[in-house]
């Protein structure tokens, strides 16, 4: 069974696999960068960021030598900025302690900053041909249906079980072709809705297809209700028309990015558009994080009337592009300038 699945997948990939720039060659650096970018990012969106990032930082040495602010600037708009900070830290770690070379085994790769089981196995398989299975969301869906397994795929024990199985399936196969093939089958055929079972290379061995339960799988435990947090953001302008900005601490959301002064508030005050800092209310925005929703009220006020915020500096608006901001703050700037036109 395992050998049959492995051959079906690798044969299909040879004929139908997707072309992607990071699949050309086996450069562990480009593979690593691509895998980190594509976490929480659609391929269509991420491909442009990949080209932009590796054009500026073409290798480990250039990334390690860069300042964190510049790395964050090239990550701007992708979100989940801890990924960029960890990339930068791991690049320096590799240069300082590994002679600028990637370890070839997935367990050694796990010692790098920000590299988890998925990324470690992806680099080990795609760059070094190590025979380990790579589990992403697409592969979990394929396996759930293939095995007719109703275990919730967001449970650690299910992932451990599937990891053990896929490690057996890849044995004896070309690791890159098998893992890329499983991902591509999930992305293009065994899709969340309206899967193309009739053209799937695994149809003949798919237990979910035989049981008629493909549309019911995969199963997931229900997530807890999302938390909502409320913030007032202040667009503070001085007499020169310069805007106040400050840099966030490296921990927490938007770590290391620049922002405009803000403060968290209570829902009732937020809904009344009340602000301790005063100022003229401009608009509200919503920004979605992985674990909570941020509701933003934006106020404009002059520097003389603004409350005291620590470590603020004023910059001219034409300098905004130099600094790395979150997408939420960039949206505030865009909406504010439109309101002022």
- Residues designated catalytic: 35
One-character DSSP codes across 25-90: S--HHHHHHHHHHHTTS-HHHHHHHHHHHHHHS-SHHHHHHS-HHHHHHHHTTS--THHHHHHHHH
* Cβ atoms of residues 167 and 151 within 8 Å: no
Q: Which two tokens stand for residue 183?
A: 């991902």
Length of the chain: 341
Give the C-alpha separation, 220 to 95, whole Å. 40
d(CA 239, CA 236): 10
Residue 258 parent element (H or E): strand 258-259
The C-alpha angle 251, 252, 258, rounded to 5 degrees, equals 80
Q: Which helix (H) or strand (E) holds 158?
A: helix 156-170
In degrees and rounded to multiples of 5, residue 108 shows phi and psi of -70, -35
- Biggest CA–CA distance in the chain, Å, is 74
C-alpha dihedral sign at 156, 160, 163, 165: negative
- State the pairing for strand pair 313-315/280-288: unpaired
Rounded distance, CA 48 to CA 184, Å? Answer: 20
């Amino acid at each position: 069974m395992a050998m049959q699945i492995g051959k079906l997948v690798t044969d299909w990939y040879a004929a139908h696999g997707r072309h992607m720039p990071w699949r050309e060659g086996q450069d562990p650096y480009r593979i690593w960068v691509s895998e980190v970018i594509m976490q929480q990012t659609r391929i269509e969106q991420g491909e442009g960021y990949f080209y932009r990032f590796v054009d500026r930082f073409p290798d480990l040495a250039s990334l390690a030598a860069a300042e964190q602010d510049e790395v964050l600037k090239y990550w701007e708009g992708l979100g989940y900025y801890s990924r960029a900070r960890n990339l930068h830290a791991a690049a320096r770690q590799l240069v300082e302690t590994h002679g600028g070379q990637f370890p070839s085994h997935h367990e050694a790769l796990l010692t790098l900053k920000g590299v988890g089981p998925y990324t470690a196995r992806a680099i080990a398989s795609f760059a070094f041909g190590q025979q380990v299975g790579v589990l992403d969301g697409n592969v979990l869906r394929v396996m759930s249906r293939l095995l007719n397994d109703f275990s919730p795929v967001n449970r650690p024990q299910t992932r451990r079980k599937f990891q053990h199985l896929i490690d057996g399936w890849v044995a004896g196969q070309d690791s890159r072709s098998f893992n890329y093939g499983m991902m591509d089958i999930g992305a293009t055929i065994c899709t969340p809705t309206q899967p193309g079972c009739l053209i799937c290379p695994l149809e003949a061995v798919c237990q979910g297809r035989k049981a008629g339960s493909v549309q019911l799988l995969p199963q997931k435990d229900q997530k807890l209700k999302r938390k909502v947090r409320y913030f007032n953001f202040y667009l503070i302008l001085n007499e020169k028309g310069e805007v106040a900005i400050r840099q966030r601490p490296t921990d927490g959301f938007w770590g290391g990015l620049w922002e405009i002064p803000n403060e968290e508030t209570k829902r009732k005050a937020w809904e009344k558009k009340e602000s301790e800092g005063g100022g003229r209310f401009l608009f509200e925005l919503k920004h979605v994080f992985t674990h909570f929703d941020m509701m933003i009220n934006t106020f404009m006020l002059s520097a003389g009337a603004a409350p005291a915020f620590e470590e603020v500096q004023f910059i001219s608006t034409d300098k905004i592009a130099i600094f790395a901001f979150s997408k939420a703050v960039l949206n505030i700037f865009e909406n504010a300038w439109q309101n002022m036109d």
